[in-house]
Structure 1
C-alpha cells in the first residue's frame, strides 16, 4: 500500500471532522489524527453550533433518534446583572422550530464522537475505504517540513507522508508555531478562560423550569455581575437533561485582579437569580479551557503556506459581537473550505501556497471573515469596563425603581432613568456608548 496520503488532518474537533467529511465524499485518501481516545475526548467545551452548515455534513440530522446534538434553539435571552437583580431582553419564536435549525446545543464530547461516526460512514462508502483512516490516541509531535513545505507528520518514531496538512489542533497552537504560521507568544489580553459546569436535572424538571417543549432549547448570555468585575460574561445553555452554565473571563484582567476561574464561577452561582435557576441540580462535570477573545489581532499573520493550512481555533476564528458567541460554526465552515481547497490543489497537482491561497480568499468571501472584520468594533466595545460594569448596573438599577410599587407617588420613567444614569454613569458617556454601538453593530 502506498503510504502517502493526499492530506493529513491534525485534530478531530469540528474543523477537522468537517474537513474529513468533505475529503471522504470526494474520494480523497486522508489520515485524520486525534490525540484523545476518541473524537471529543479532549474537548471539554460545548454550547451552540449556529447556522445550517451541519445539515450540509449530515443531511436531515434532525431525524436521527439519538443524534449528537442536545436541543435546537428557539429561545434567546440576553441578561444584564447587578448584585441583586437581572434585567433581560427575551426573544422566543416558533419560526426557529423548523429544521434545518439555526442553532443546536451540543456537548462536544458527545457531538464530536457522533460526527466522527458519520465521517467513518463516508470513508466506508469512498474509493479509499481501506486506505483512509481516523487514528485516535496519537499525538503529533511535528509537522515534517522540507524546503519550508509541509511533507508529512511525525508521531513518536513513525513518520507519515502527505501532499498536504490541515492543522486543526485548537487554540493551543503548538504545530502552528512550529511551521511558522503563529507567533511564539500570544498576548494574554487577547485570550480568555472559559469555565463551565454541567448541571443535571430530572428532564421534566428542566423542561418545566425553562419552558421547553419537546427538543426546544434556550441560550442565555449574561453581562455584568456574572464575572465579579472581571472582563467577560456568562452563559447558560439547556441540554437534554442538563444545563451548561459558565463564564468566559479575561486572563490578563483576572490575573491583575487576583481572581481565579473557580472563585468567579462560584460568585456567579451565588447570585440570587442563578441560585434559584440551578436549585436542585447536580454538578456532574467541571471544565476550563483557553479561548480567543475574538480580536482579529490574535489571528496568525497567514493561514497557509506551502502544503499546510490552519482551520478553526488553530486560526483563532471566533467572535462575540453581543448577538452570540460564535466559534464552532466558524470552525465547521473553515474545515469545509479548507478541504475544498485541498481537493482543488490535488486536481491541479499543486499544493504550494500559490494554490492554497484560495483558502484565505474563500474564507474572506465567507461570512466567517466578513463577520470578524465587520464586528471588530463590537468585540472591543463588549470588552470595555462600561459594558461589563456600568451599563448592567445602570439597567438593573432602573429596572428596580421602575418595577417597584410602594404606595408612594410614582415618578415619571424619565426621572427614574435620570437618577440611575446619575448614579452609575452620565448622559455623555451613554451618548458615546450609543454612538459606538450604532457604529459597531
Structure 2
C-alpha cells in the first residue's frame, strides 16, 4: 500500500466526517483516523444539528428508514426558571415540517456511525476505493512536522504521510498545540462542562407527553434556577423514545463555588416542572464532556499553517447566544470548507499556507464566523449575573402575579411588573441590559 495520501483527517466526529465526504466525492486519496472503536463510540455529546448542510452531504437523508437522526425540530421553547416557577417563550410552526429540515436531533454515537457508513459508500464509489480508508481504534500521537510543515502523522511506531492534515480532534487541543497553532490550554473561564442524562419512555407516551406527531420533535433551553447559581443553562431534546436532559456549566465558576456537575444536575431535576416532565422515565445513560463557551477568545491564533487546517471544536467553533446551542452545524460547515480548500490545494499542487489561507477566508465569509463575530456581545451578555439570575426571577415573579386569580381587586400589569423589578433588579440595571441586548442581538 502506498502510504502517501492527499490528506489525513484526525478525528471522525462531525467535522472530520464532513471533510471526508467532500474528499471522497472529489476523488481524493485520504485516510480518516478515529481513536474509538467506531465513529461515534467515544462521542458522548448530542443535541440539535441545525441547518441544511446535512442535506448537501446526504441528499434525501430524511427518506431513510434507518437514518442516523432522531427527530426533526418543529417546536422551540426558551424557559426562564426560579425555584418554583417556569415562564416559557414557546414557538411551534408547521413551516418546520418540510424537508430538508432546519434542525434534527441526533445522538452522536448513532449519528456519527451512520454518517461514517455514508462516507464509506462515497469512498467505494470513488476512484480510490482501494486506497482511501477509515481507520478506527488508532490514537494519533503526533503530527509529523518537517521544516514547520505538516507532512503526516505518527501513531505508535507507525508513520503515515500526506500532503495535508486536517485536525478535527475536538476540544482536546493536544495536536493543535503540538503544531504551534495554539500555545497553551484554553483558559477554564472560556470552557464549559456539558452533563447529560438520556431518559427512556415508551415511545407513544413520550409523543403524547410532548405533543409530538410522527418524527416531529422539540428543543427546550432553560435559563435561571436550573444551574443552582453556576454560570450556564439547561437543555432538553426529544429523541425517538428518549429525551436528552442536561446542563452546560462554567468550569471556572463551578470550581469556585465548589459544586459538582452531578449535584447541579440533580438540583435541576428536582424542580417541579422538570420532575413532572421526567416522571416515569428510566435513566439509561449518563455522560459528561467539555465544550467551548462560544467566546471567540478561546479560538486558536490561526486555523491554518503549511500543510494543516483546524476544523470543528479543535478550532473552538461553538456559540450559544441564547437562541440555540450551535456547534455541530459549525463543525460540519468547517469540515466541508476545510476539505474544499484541500481539493483546491491539490489542483494547484500547493499545500502551503499561501493556498490554505483560503480556508480562513471561506470560513470568515460563511455564517459560522459571521455569527461568531456578530454575536459575541450576546454570548457575553448571556453569562452576566443579571441575565442568569435577575431576569429569570423577575419574569417568573411577574408570571405568578399575572396568572394568579384571587377574589380581590387585581393590580394592573404595570404595577405587577414594577413590583417584580423592585424585588429582583432595578430599572437602571434593566435599561443597561436592554441597551446591551439591542446592540447584541
TM-score range, shorter chain: over 0.9
Structure-2 residue corresponding to 1:102:
102
Could you state the TM-score of these two structures normalised by the residue count of structure 1?
Answer: 1.00
CA contact (8 A) 2:152 2:159 kept: yes
Structure-2 residue corresponding to 1:321:
321
Structure-2 residue corresponding to 1:411:
411
Structure-2 residue corresponding to 1:282:
282
Runs (4+) of structure 1 exceeding 2 A deviation are: none
Tell me how far 1:112 sits from its aligned partner.
0.1
- What aligned pairs does 1:63-82 form with structure 2 within 5 A after superposition? 63-82=63-82
Tell me how far 1:3 sits from its aligned partner.
1.5
Structure-2 residue corresponding to 1:238:
238
Tell me how far 1:216 sits from its aligned partner.
0.1
Mark the runs of 5 or more structure 1 residues left unpaired by the alignment.
none
Structure-2 residue corresponding to 1:146:
146
- Give, in whole Å, the separation in 2 of the partners of 1:245 and 1:187: 27
CA contact (8 A) 2:173 2:185 kept: no
- Give, in whole Å, the separation in 2 of the partners of 1:180 and 1:318: 21
- Give, in whole Å, the separation in 2 of the partners of 1:3 and 1:401: 70
Tell me how far 1:50 sits from its aligned partner.
0.2
Could you state the TM-score of these two structures normalised by the residue count of structure 2?
Answer: 1.00
CA contact (8 A) 2:226 2:268 kept: yes
- What aligned pairs does 1:6-155 form with structure 2 within 5 A after superposition? 6-155=6-155
- What aligned pairs does 1:216-227 form with structure 2 within 5 A after superposition? 216-227=216-227
Tell me how far 1:388 sits from its aligned partner.
1.0
Q: 3-state SS of the aligned residue for 1:334?
A: helix
Tell me how far 1:2 sits from its aligned partner.
2.2
Tell me how far 1:408 sits from its aligned partner.
1.1
Match status 1:207 vs 2:207: yes
- Give, in whole Å, the separation in 1 of the partners of 2:9 and 2:185: 24
- Give, in whole Å, the separation in 2 of the partners of 1:157 and 1:341: 30
Match status 1:157 vs 2:157: yes
- Give, in whole Å, the separation in 2 of the partners of 1:187 and 1:166: 24
- Give, in whole Å, the separation in 2 of the partners of 1:286 and 1:186: 25
Q: 3-state SS of the aligned residue for 2:77?
A: strand
- Give, in whole Å, the separation in 2 of the partners of 1:113 and 1:386: 42
Structure-2 residue corresponding to 1:369:
369
- Give, in whole Å, the separation in 2 of the partners of 1:232 and 1:440: 18
- Give, in whole Å, the separation in 2 of the partners of 1:169 and 1:386: 35
Structure-2 residue corresponding to 1:196:
196
- Give, in whole Å, the separation in 2 of the partners of 1:378 and 1:324: 12
- Give, in whole Å, the separation in 2 of the partners of 1:286 and 1:45: 11
Structure-1 residue corresponding to 2:301:
301
Match status 1:268 vs 2:262: no
Tell me how far 1:77 sits from its aligned partner.
0.2
Structure-2 residue corresponding to 1:340:
340
- Give, in whole Å, the separation in 2 of the partners of 1:77 and 1:107: 20
- Give, in whole Å, the separation in 2 of the partners of 1:187 and 1:334: 23
1:68-116, Cα deviation, whole Å (9 max, x unpaired): 0000000000000000000000000000000000000000000000000
Tell me how far 1:22 sits from its aligned partner.
0.2
1:157-185, Cα deviation, whole Å (9 max, x unpaired): 00000000000000011100100111223
Structure-2 residue corresponding to 1:177:
177
Q: 3-state SS of the aligned residue for 2:4?
A: coil
1:234-293, Cα deviation, whole Å (9 max, x unpaired): 000000000000000000000011000000000000000000000000000000000000
CA contact (8 A) 2:97 2:216 kept: yes
Structure-1 residue corresponding to 2:426:
426
- Give, in whole Å, the separation in 2 of the partners of 1:341 and 1:59: 22
Paired residues, what number? 441
Q: 3-state SS of the aligned residue for 1:391?
A: helix
Match status 1:397 vs 2:397: yes
Tell me how far 1:384 sits from its aligned partner.
0.6
- Give, in whole Å, the separation in 2 of the partners of 1:59 and 1:185: 38
- Give, in whole Å, the separation in 2 of the partners of 1:311 and 1:21: 14
Tell me how far 1:66 sits from its aligned partner.
1.1
- Give, in whole Å, the separation in 2 of the partners of 1:34 and 1:192: 24
1:163-212, Cα deviation, whole Å (9 max, x unpaired): 00000000011100100111223210000000000000000000000000
Mark the runs of 5 or more structure 2 residues left unpaired by the alignment.
none
1:126-184, Cα deviation, whole Å (9 max, x unpaired): 00000000000000000000000001000000000000000000001110010011122
- Give, in whole Å, the separation in 2 of the partners of 1:43 and 1:189: 23
